[in-house]
């Protein structure tokens, strides 16, 4: 699991650079990978992956959205979103683990997780910038909701496809794959 968590952290980091061009605005995969960390690794290892990612960012590696890094970023206006990733991944993992492979639980978890990110992010934004609540919402949440909706649908579908690949006893999956190929 250590390797998986590190891999997921790397995916979140790489997600800052992988974009799907949809219309004029590219959709960045970063926050989708955060939610997927919770879905795929569960409520303990999901946040662990996010923590490793944040630690790498604090060290100044260019892993935060837009390729920046540093403590300054964590303390800056968008720091709340980044810190919100932690409880969000935990919540997604916890909710989706209530039962095996239930799509509606996955989706519920994803919605709650997304909400948590904004719950941490928007007040923080308001506090740091001194904007009014309505302006904070207008800048820091409303423009992204459509994209988040798409990502929730996508994340649920992806989790369904990827779960069989991940086995709790690492090493076995690759062997199994070879034995079938």
Partner 1 sequence: MNILEADRLSHRFPDGSMGIHEIGLTLRKGSFTVLAGPNGSGKTTFLRHLNGLLMPTSGEVRIKGVPVREDPRRARRLVGMVFQDADSQIVGETVYDDAAFGPENLKLDRREIHRRVLAALDAVGMSGLAGQRPHLLSGGEKRRLAIAGILAMGSEVVILDEPFSNLDYPGVRQVLGAILDLHSRGRTILLSTHDLEKTIAHADRLLLMEKGRIVADGRPGAVLGQTERYGVRRPCAVRWGRAVESWLN
Partner 2 sequence: MAELTAFGYHPGDSVLHRLDPRFKLVCLIATSLTVLDSGMAALGLWSAACAILLVKTGVSMPRLLRELRYFGVLILFVFVARAFSAGGDPLVRFWGIGPSRQGMMEGALVGWRLGLVVLLGLSLMATTRSWQVKAAVESLLRPVPFIPHKRAATMIGLLFRFIPQILSAARETADAQKARGIGNRRNPVFRLVKLAVPLLRKTFLDADRLAAAMEARCYTEDRSTPPLSAAAGDWSFLAAVCALSAVAWVLSRL
Rounded to a whole number of angstroms, the minimum distance from the CB of residue 175 to partner 1 is 5
Q: Taking CB under 8 A as the criterion, which residues in 157-176 touch partner 1?
A: 167, 169, 171-172, 175-176
Q: Are 148 and 121 in contact (CB under 8 A)?
A: no
7 binds partner 2 (CB under 8 A): yes
What is the distance in angstroms between the CA of the first residue and the CA of the last residue of the chain? 24
DSSP 79-116: HHHHHHHHHHHHHHHHHHTTSTT-HHHHHHHHHHHHHH
100 binds partner 1 (CB under 8 A): no
Given partner 2, partner 1, none, residue 179, with its beta carbon under 5 to 8 Å by kind, binds partner 1
Given partner 2, partner 1, none, residue 26, with its beta carbon under 5 to 8 Å by kind, binds partner 2
Give rounded-to-5 percent helix, strand, coil for the chain.
75, 5, 20
Answer for which of 2, 101, 103, 134 binds partner 2 (CB under 8 A) is: 2
Token output for 102: 């239930």
Positions that interact with partner 1 (CB under 8 A): 167, 169, 171-172, 175-176, 178-181
């Amino acid at each position: 699991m250590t390797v998986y968590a590190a891999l997921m952290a790397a995916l979140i980091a790489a997600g800052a650079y992988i974009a799907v061009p949809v219309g004029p605005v590219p959709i960045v995969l970063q926050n989708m990978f955060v939610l997927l960390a919770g879905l795929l690794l569960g409520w303990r290892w999901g946040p662990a992956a996010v923590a490793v990612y944040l630690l790498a960012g604090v060290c100044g590696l260019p892993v935060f959205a837009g390729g920046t890094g540093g403590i300054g970023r964590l303390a800056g206006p968008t720091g709340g979103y980044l810190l919100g990733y932690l409880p969000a991944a935990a919540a997604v993992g916890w909710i989706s683990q209530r039962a095996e492979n239930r799509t509606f639980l996955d989706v519920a978890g994803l919605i709650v997780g997304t909400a948590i990110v904004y719950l941490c992010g928007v007040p923080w934004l308001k506090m740091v910038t001194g904007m009014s609540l309505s302006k904070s919402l207008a800048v820091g949440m409303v423009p992204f909701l459509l994209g988040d909706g798409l990502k929730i649908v996508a994340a649920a579908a992806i989790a369904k496809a990827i779960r069989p690949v991940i086995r709790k006893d690492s090493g076995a999956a690759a062997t199994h794959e070879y034995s079938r190929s």
